[in-house]
C-alpha cells in the first residue's frame, strides 16, 4: 500500500454495510460490528487513530454556505415550515440534510442534499430570471450551459459515492433560480429546475428510493472533506 493510500484509509470515516450474517461490516477495516453493540465506539476508535496520526478530516456539513440565496432555498427543504412541516410529520418522512459548497473538481462546487429519494446536486442560476426552453436553461434571455454543468456534477457525485458500495444511489441535479423561473425541467429527466421558494415542493415530488438509514450513511460519507480530494 502506498503512503497516500494508507493516509486516506486512516483519515476516512467508516461506514457500515449490512451483511448477511449477524452484524455489519466496517468499510475500512472489515471488522464485524454486531447489530446490538455500539457501532459508534468503533467509529470513535477510527477517528481517535486519525487524530493521533494528524490526518483528520474537515466536516463540510458545518461550513457556512457561500451563496445566501441558494442557502435560503436549501433551508426551506431542510427546515420545512407550516403545512410542509406538518405533512412531513404525518408521513414520518426522512428529513433532508444538506452540505454546502462541496468541491467537485473540474465541475466546480455544488450544494448536496440527502433525503429518501436519493442525492440532489443543487446549483444556483444567480439573480437573473431563469427560463427553461427546449431543455436549455436561459438566464435573462441568454442561453447558458447550466444544465450540462449540472449533469457533469451529477456524474461526478454518483461516481464518488458509489465507490466501494454495492448499490448506486439515485443522484439528481437541480438548477435553483432564486430570481424566478419560467418553464419546465430541462432534459434529461435527472436535471430539474426550481425557483427558490419552490425547491422543497419540487423535491417532495421525487419518488422514495432509499431504505431507512441509507440517506444518513451517504450524508456521513459526503460531509468528510477526504471524500472530495481537491
Q: Does 29 bind Zn ion (CB under 5 A)?
A: yes
CA–CA distance, 215 with 168 (Å, rounded to integer): 12
State the minimum distance, in angstroms, from the CB of residue 114 to Zn ion: 23
Q: Which span sits near Zn ion by CB under 5 A: 30-38, 103-111, 176-184, 208-216? A: 30-38
Please name the residues in contact with 128: beta carbons below 8 A apart, sequence gap of 6 or more.
Answer: 139, 140, 179
| Closer by beta carbon to Zn ion, 21 or else 184 | 21
Please name the residues in contact with 200: beta carbons below 8 A apart, sequence gap of 6 or more.
Answer: 76, 77, 80, 84
Query: Of residues 11, 26, 71, 74, which one binds Zn ion by CB under 5 A?
Result: 26
CA–CA distance, 63 with 104 (Å, rounded to integer): 16
What number of chain residues touch Zn ion (CB under 5 A)?
5
Q: Does 53 bind Zn ion (CB under 5 A)?
A: no
CA–CA distance, 164 with 185 (Å, rounded to integer): 32
The gap between the terminal CA atoms of the chain, to the nearest Å, is 21
Q: Does 33 bind Zn ion (CB under 5 A)?
A: no
State the minimum distance, in angstroms, from the CB of residue 15 to Zn ion: 10
Query: Of residues 9, 10, 31, 55, which one binds Zn ion by CB under 5 A?
Result: 31
Q: Does 55 bind Zn ion (CB under 5 A)?
A: no
DSSP-derived 3-state class of residue 25: strand
Residues that bind Zn ion (CB under 5 A): 14, 26, 28-29, 31
Amino acid at each position: 500500500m502506498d503512503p497516500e493510500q494508507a493516509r486516506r484509509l486512516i483519515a476516512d470515516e467508516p461506514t457500515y454495510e449490512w451483511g448477511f450474517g449477524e452484524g455489519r461490516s466496517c468499510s475500512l477495516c472489515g471488522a464485524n460490528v454486531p447489530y446490538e453493540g455500539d457501532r459508534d465506539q468503533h467509529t470513535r476508535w477510527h477517528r481517535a487513530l486519525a487524530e493521533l496520526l494528524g490526518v483528520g478530516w474537515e466536516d463540510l456539513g458545518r461550513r457556512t454556505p457561500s451563496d445566501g440565496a441558494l442557502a435560503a432555498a436549501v433551508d426551506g427543504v431542510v427546515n420545512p415550515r407550516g403545512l410542509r412541516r406538518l405533512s412531513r410529520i404525518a408521513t414520518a418522512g426522512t428529513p433532508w440534510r444538506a452540505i454546502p459548497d462541496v468541491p467537485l473538481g473540474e465541475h466546480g462546487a455544488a450544494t448536496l442534499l440527502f433525503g429518501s429519494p436519493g442525492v440532489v446536486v443543487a446549483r444556483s442560476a444567480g439573480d437573473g430570471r431563469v427560463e427553461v426552453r427546449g431543455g436549455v436553461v436561459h438566464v435573462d434571455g441568454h442561453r447558458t450551459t447550466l444544465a450540462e454543468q449540472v449533469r457533469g456534477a451529477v456524474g461526478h457525485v454518483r461516481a464518488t459515492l458509489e465507490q466501494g458500495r454495492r448499490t448506486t444511489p439515485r443522484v439528481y441535479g437541480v438548477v435553483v433560480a432564486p430570481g424566478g423561473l419560467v418553464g419546465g425541467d430541462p432534459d434529461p429527466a435527472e436535471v430539474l429546475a426550481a425557483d427558490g421558494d419552490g425547491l422543497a415542493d419540487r423535491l417532495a415530488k421525487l419518488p422514495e428510493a432509499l431504505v431507512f438509514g441509507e440517506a444518513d450513511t451517504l450524508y456521513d460519507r459526503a460531509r468528510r472533506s477526504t471524500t472530495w480530494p481537491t
